[in-house]
Chain A
Amino acid sequence: MSPGLTLVGQSGLTYFGRTTASISHELKNALAIIKENAGLLGDYLLMMEKGMPIDPARFKTVAGRIEDQITRADGIIKNLNRFAHSVDDPVKAIDLNETAGLLGVLSQREAAMRQIALQVIPQEGTLTVTTAPYLLLNLLGRCLSICLQHMGAGKTLSVRVAKEGDKACIVFDALDAAALASAGSFPGESESALLSAVGADCRLDGNQGRLIITLSNR
């Protein structure tokens, strides 16, 4: 295996592991809330058995909380499923809006941990490119992590899908130019290997505070 492919493979496994770990943590949180609410229902029943009256509205509140967490967990699992299926086809035509949307939901927790708001801005209509879907997601995930590492808490990172002539772009916006300069080694070896594997270029625009990934194979 060539060094480039080894790097892509390692990077892919790291990203898969990191993302599924984050998702499993989110699921655990939802399950913990469901478990405690189920326990609370048990507490209410015990109280009733001992002759203590319980307002039916309290049962309704607990049922509502359980339903909310099940909806949340279902959403998390749907995203995990979309993520898992991103490895189905080595190369295929994808809508960049969908990829950016998936990147956004998969990265919400990472951004929240750094107290940074994450905003995904799709391009109007669809913007199709033919590429390696999982490797592109991996590349964008790495870019997003680097952006988050070089932003302060309380800021907003926007991920915008855009057309640039006949090319398609993903623009990471509202970055701090000084902080970006400190990310001097970007793209590193792994990012360069991923850029090559998905047929993309990247550039840092310090003046505008942007990191731009450009895909030409539309």
Chain B
Amino acid sequence: MGEKILLVDDEKDFLTVMSERMTARGMEVTTADSAQEALQEVESGAYDAIVLDLKMPGMDGIETLKAIKARNPTLQVILLTGHATLEKGIEAMKLGAMDFVEKPADLNVLTEKIKKAQARKMVLVAEQTEQKLKSILQAKGW
């Protein structure tokens, strides 16, 4: 099964073409053209990676990243930025972004990062599940 991706950008034409190209590469892509829509999607869907534009009207990418991480810390976010400055990158990483890519993005590079995100999420979910099982076993005294 392909990676489940949430693609967030306020440029609708960008969403259309990226979605078509990623789908052709076997990914299952959902799009959102605002932070609000993205947050609703995060509530309802399980995603392997979220590709998020840094500059959006209203709530920008950094604020959206914080809100996504507050809802689900295992979600892996890759930031898309017009100008990938080291400063922004460090800020994004500190807030829990997995990586960042400069626009115009190379789809092969982005695909690699998405695969890494999926693997990282699987490890985090497995760790969480193990932790939960340990807690249950300890609580029940088995």
Contact = CB atoms under 8 A, between A and B. Distances in A.
B55 interface: yes
B82 interface: yes
Q: Which of B11, B16, B104 counts the most A-chain CB atoms under 10 A from its CB?
A: B104
B20 interface: yes
Contacts, number: 59
A162 B17 CA distance: 44
B141 interface: no
A91 B101 CA distance: 44
Interface in A155-191: none
Interface residues of B, number: 20
Interface residues of A, number: 24
Contacts of B83: 24-25, 28
B56 to A, nearest CB: 8
A71 to B, nearest CB: 12
Nearest to B102: A28
A205 interface: no
Given A39-B21, A112-B57, A114-B57, A33 B82 contact: no
Nearest to A68: B13
Given A39-B21, A40-B20, A115-B57, 9 more contacts: A24-B83, A25-B83, A28-B83, A33-B17, A35-B104, A43-B24, A62-B17, A65-B16, A113-B55
Interface of B: 11, 13-14, 16-18, 20-21, 24, 55-58, 60, 82-83, 103-105, 107
